[in-house]
Amino acid sequence: MCLGIPAKVIEINGYMAEVEIGGTRREASLQLVPDAKVGDFVLIHTGYAIQKIDEKEAEETLELLKQLGESNGSGE
Amino acid sequence: MKFVNEFRNPKLVQALIKKVREYSSTPIKLMEVCGTHTVAISKSGLRQVIPNSITLLSGPGCPVCVTSHRDLDRAITLASIPNVIITTFGDMMKVPGSFSSLSKEKASGKDIRVVYSTLDALKIAEENRDKRIIFLGVGFETSAPTVGQAIIEARRRNLKNFFVFSALKTMPLVLKALIDLGEVNFQGYILPGHVSVIIGVKPYQFLSRDYGMPGVIAGFEPLDVLQTILMLVEMIEKGEPEIKIQYKRAVSPEGNLIAQELLKKVFEPSDADWRGIGVIPETGLKIAENYGDFDAERIFKVETPEPVEPKGCRCGEVLRGLIFPYQCGLFAKACTPESPVGPCMVSSEGACAAYYRYNKL
Ligand code: SF4
What is the tens place of the pLDDT at every residue in B152-202? Answer: 999 999 999 999 999 999 999 999 999 999 998 999 999 999 999 999 999
Is A12 part of any domain? yes
Is B192 part of any domain? yes
Give the model's pLDDT for residue A1.
Answer: 67
Is B81 part of any domain? yes
Give the model's pLDDT for residue A24.
Answer: 93
**Portion 7-66 of A in contact with B at CB < 8 A:** 8, 21-22, 27, 29, 31-34, 41, 43, 45-48, 50-51, 53-55, 57-58, 60-62, 64-66
Pick the closest to residue B57 from B361, B326, B323 (CA basis): B323
Please give the residue range of the domain that contains residue A53: 5-71
pTM, 2 dp: 0.94
Rounded CA separation B138/B283 (Å) = 13
Structural domains counted in chain B: 1
What is the tens place of the pLDDT at every residue in B57-98? Answer: 999 999 999 999 999 999 999 999 999 999 999 989 989 999
Rounded CA separation A41/B249 (Å) = 10
Give the model's pLDDT for residue A22.
Answer: 84
Residue A55 to residue B249, Cβ atoms within 8 A: yes
Is A39 part of any domain? yes
Cβ of residue A6 closer than 8 Å to a chain B Cβ: yes
User: In this structure, what are the phi and psi dihedrals at residue A14, rounded to the nearest 5 degrees?
Assistant: 65, -125
Alpha-carbon gap: A9 to the closest alpha carbon of chain B (Å): 13
Structural domains counted in chain A: 1
Cβ of residue B249 closer than 8 Å to a chain A Cβ: yes
What is the tens place of the pLDDT at every residue in B302-357? Answer: 899 999 999 999 999 999 999 999 999 999 999 999 999 999 999 888 999 999 99
Give the model's pLDDT for residue B323.
Answer: 94
Is B211 part of any domain? yes
Is A76 part of any domain? no
Is B315 part of any domain? yes
Q: Which ligand 1 atom is the nearest neighbour of the CA of B331?
A: 1
Is A58 part of any domain? yes
Q: Where in chain B does DSSP place strands (E)?
A: 28-34, 54-61, 84-88, 112-114, 132-137, 162-166, 188-191, 215-217, 243-245, 267-274, 278-287
Is A60 part of any domain? yes
What is the tens place of the pLDDT at every residue in B332-341? Answer: 999 999 999 9
CB-neighbour burial class of residue B195 (10 A; exposed 0-12, middle 13-18, buried 19+): buried
Provide the percentage of residues in chain B whose pLDDT is more than 90. 86
Provide the CATH number for the domain around residue A11: 2.30.30.140
Contact A22, A44 (CB under 8 A): no
Provide the CATH number for the domain around residue B287: 3.40.50.11740
Q: What is the pLDDT along chain A (76 residues), one digit of tens a residue?
A: 678 999 999 999 999 999 999 889 999 999 999 999 999 999 999 999 999 999 999 999 999 999 988 875 443 3
Instruction: Find the B41 Cα to ligand 1 centroid distance in Å.
Output: 19
Is B361 part of any domain? no
